[in-house]
Amino acid sequence: MKTSNNISDKPEKDDFGLDFIRKIIVEDIRTNKNEGRVHTRFPPEPNGWMHIGHAMAIYLSYSVAQEYNGLFNLRFDDTDPSKESMDYVEAIKEDVQWLGAEWEDRLYFASDYFEKLYEFAVALIKAGKAFICDLSVEEIREQRGTLTEPGVNSPYRNRSAEENFDFFTRMREGEFEDGSKVLRAKIDMTSPNLLMRDPIMYRIKRVSHYRTGTEWIIYPSYDFTHGESDAIEGITHSLCSLEFETHRPLYDWFIDELLALGTLKHKPRQIEFSRLNVTYTITSKRRLLELVKGEYVSGWDDPRMPTIAGMRKRGFPASAIRTFLGRVGVTKREKNIDVGLLEACVRDELDKEANRVLAVLNPLRVVITNYPEDQVEHLEIPNHPKDESRGTRKVPFSRVLYIEQEDFMEDPPKKFYRLTPGREVRLRNAYFITCTDVKKDESGKILEVHCTYDPNTRGGSSPDGRKVKATIHWLSRDHALKAEIRLYDRLFNREDPLGLLDYNSDSLKSIIGYVEPSLKEAKPATHYQFERVGYFFADPEEFTKKKLVINRTITLRDTWARIKKQLPQPKKKKQKIKK
């Protein structure tokens, strides 16, 4: 760290392309502010689940610290005991860790600073900067004024420092009722910023705190805790979302006063960035709670939820979330990111990571009529077509197979080039087969399809160089394993969902599908690509050898589905053409 500081010969434009926060940091380092240190923090309140928006805050603060050789703290902002719990602390730690943000030994709690905060408050009281106010909640609200009218001074505003100190001591000792007195900062009741109108610093709350128990009955407010905690920890850049912008003058006021009194020695800088909104998702705690309470989802970690726990269970890799966040960037504009971008990042990552296997979601029986009745072959199939080092596995092949229902059409449209009567296609990594016959029941429902195979195409290529237009996936019927497959889709069917009203009732379809035998050896929490179908994830908790529970993370990009949509509608029923 003790490098020579030749500030002058630093190239000026090395901050090109950086976001505005990193520019500030680069400049601060250049001018040796905070002795060139960078120290950030993520300050969740342990009263709820972390979601994609929090992920952005975590990732930003952490990666900024990383990039500039700084430190990153995890600090729980636990000043409202009525809603907080240790369970949330543990869940949040897991989420933060999973995302890849490391706090090392710097795990802190604002509640550890209660004594210090109390002393800070006393210092402010003694300096005449804070007073005990006996007004009720309603009276304080009335006297605060409105957006356009100034507030009026509390009648208790001019109590002497001694009296204030005495009251504050007795507040702590439990002499007064909850709500009967508060400690307020003495700032300016006419400020156009409502937060500066003598804001509350301490309130009496006889609620047991999940960490400090009944030790305290007075608790500091967010505004009087957050900045002070930052200062105590030596935070240099306190990054938060835009809604705290109007709090900044107050953040600064407390610290400046404490600095002037010599109580504090360090001043962090709060910088606000716009929060992340994603299409087809909601992050409002209240709205999400409705889904949980109404059992529209299985819980806060339901794979459809935008929570970090939900995305984890869904099978979104942390690295995909990180690249997503990186692509989104940091600004102060309101953003509404296309969920497609997140999905693209997930596919991108999984294409590299996931081994390929064969699975059939909706089976259609295929009989290879020229294949010997009792024969079983074990075909060697690569685990990843782009990565030989991942090796191969054996997949059984026999006379009776399953293929995907939608890979066969008796009377196909022009652009359909999968299996159809008379046509030859390839079974992935197996054989060329030609459809010879279609068996139906009396009602016309297709029961099975008869095909012949070409023994010379073993492995999937023909010696005569003959081409087929399509390759489809398959499974040997007698060897296929049943699996509970949960097909997840977007939780809402509206780009800008309001809540329950836009709930997508098709967002989960649980089906029994078939997978190749190798899946029996799968470990929970591993990613697979079901070839031609999508990316799937062995459920971290529920997947066992006996019961294969598999979540669909995301479908493959499906060009055929789009072509199909553009095709003239088959005239089964009269359909009203929308447009």
Residues 190-209 that bind RNA (CB under 7 A): 192-195, 200, 203-205
Interface positions, 272-331, toward RNA (CB under 7 A): 274, 327-331
Question: Which residue among 10, 23, 390, 466 contacts RNA (CB under 7 A)?
Answer: 23
Bridge-based pairing of strands 549-555 and 534-538 is antiparallel
- With beta carbons less than 8 A apart as the criterion, state whether 50 and 300 touch: no
Cα 441-447-453 angle, rounded to 5 deg: 135
DSSP 246: G
* Residue number, 511 or 561, with CB nearest to RNA: 561
Under the binding rule (CB under 7 A), the answer on residue 337 touching RNA is yes
Q: Name the token pair of 356.
A: 């390929």
Catalytic residue among 285, 390, 547, 564: 285
Q: Which of 157, 332, 365, 490 binds RNA (CB under 7 A)?
A: 332
Is 146 a binding residue for RNA by CB under 7 A? The answer is: yes
* 512 touches RNA by CB under 7 A: no
Could you confirm whether 45 is annotated as catalytic? yes
Phi, psi of 319 (to 5 degrees): -65, -35
Q: Does 344 bind RNA (CB under 7 A)?
A: yes
Q: Which of 155, 179, 294, 455 binds RNA (CB under 7 A)?
A: 179
The nearest distance, CB 553 to RNA, in angstroms, is 13
Strand order through the sheet with 107-109? 39-42, 71-76, 107-109
CB of 475 to RNA, least distance (A): 15
With respect to RNA, which residue has the nearer C-beta, 72 or 474? 474
- How would you class 501 by CB atoms within 10 Å of its CB: exposed for 0-12, middle for 13-18, buried for 19 or more? exposed
Using the contact rule CB under 7 A, the part of the chain among 58-66, 114-122, 168-176, 336-344 near RNA is 336-344
**Nearest distance in Å: CB 50, RNA:** 12
Asked if 400 touches RNA (CB under 7 A), the answer is: no
**Within positions 207 to 266, which residues make up the interface with RNA, using CB under 7 A?**
219, 221-223, 225-226, 242-247
Q: What is the 3-class SS of 375-396, one letter each residue? A: CCEEEEEECCCCCHHHCEEEEE
User: Is-catalytic flag, 285?
Assistant: yes
Q: Which stretch binds RNA (CB under 7 A): 41-49, 52-60, 162-170, 256-264?
A: 41-49
- Binding positions for RNA, 453-472, rule CB under 7 A: 459-461, 467, 470-472
| Residue closer to RNA (CB basis): 98 or 560 | 560
Task: Give the C-alpha separation, 132 to 577, whole Å.
Answer: 69
Ranges within 424-453 binding RNA (CB under 7 A): 426, 428-429
**Residue pair 495/505 in contact by the 8 Å Cβ criterion:** no
Give me the long-range contacts of 409-413 (CB less than 8 A, separation at least 24): 410/438, 410/446, 413/567, 413/568, 413/570
Smallest distance from RNA to CB 442, Å: 29
Compute the distance between CA of residue 404 and CA of residue 269 in angstroms, rounded to an integer. 58
Rank residues 79 and 518 by Cβ distance to RNA and give the closer one: 79
Near RNA in 345-384, by CB under 7 A: 347-348, 351, 356
Q: Which of 30, 126, 172, 275 is catalytic?
A: 275
- Residues 522-551 touching RNA, rule: CB under 7 A, are 529, 531-532
Residue in 30, 126, 144, 266 binding RNA, rule: CB under 7 A: 144
Q: Does 334 bind RNA (CB under 7 A)?
A: yes
| Total interface residues for RNA by CB under 7 A | 93
Q: Does 161 bind RNA (CB under 7 A)?
A: no
Calpha distance 79→124 (Å, rounded): 19
**Shortest Å, Cβ 180 to RNA:** 7
Residue closer to RNA (CB basis): 260 or 417: 417
Helix residue ranges, H only, 199-335: 222-233, 248-260, 285-293, 308-314, 318-328
Report the site for RNA in 46-85 (rule: CB under 7 A).
77, 79-80, 83
State whether the Cα torsion 301-303-304-309 is positive or negative. positive
Question: How do 432-440 and 474-476 pair as beta strands?
Answer: unpaired
Residue nearer to RNA on the CB measure, 244 or 371: 244
**410/541 with CB nearer RNA:** 410
Q: Is 21 helix (H, G, I), strand (E, B) or coil?
A: helix
Name the minimum Å distance from CB 57 to RNA. 11
Phi, psi dihedrals of residue 258, rounded to the nearest 5° = -70, -35
Q: Tell me which of 417, 440, 510, 524 binds RNA, using CB under 7 A.
A: 417
SS3 of residue 37 by DSSP: coil
CB of 472 to RNA, least distance (A): 7
Q: Which of 30, 33, 45, 377 is catalytic?
A: 45
State which of residues 141, 378, 440, 520 lies at the interface with RNA (CB under 7 A).
141
Specify the residue for token string 């760290």.
1
- Residues 329 and 273: their CA atoms lie apart, in Å, by 10
Specify which residues 515 forms β-bridges with. 359, 481
Q: How many angstroms separate the first and last alpha carbons of the chain?
A: 65
**Catalytic residue positions?**
45, 275, 285
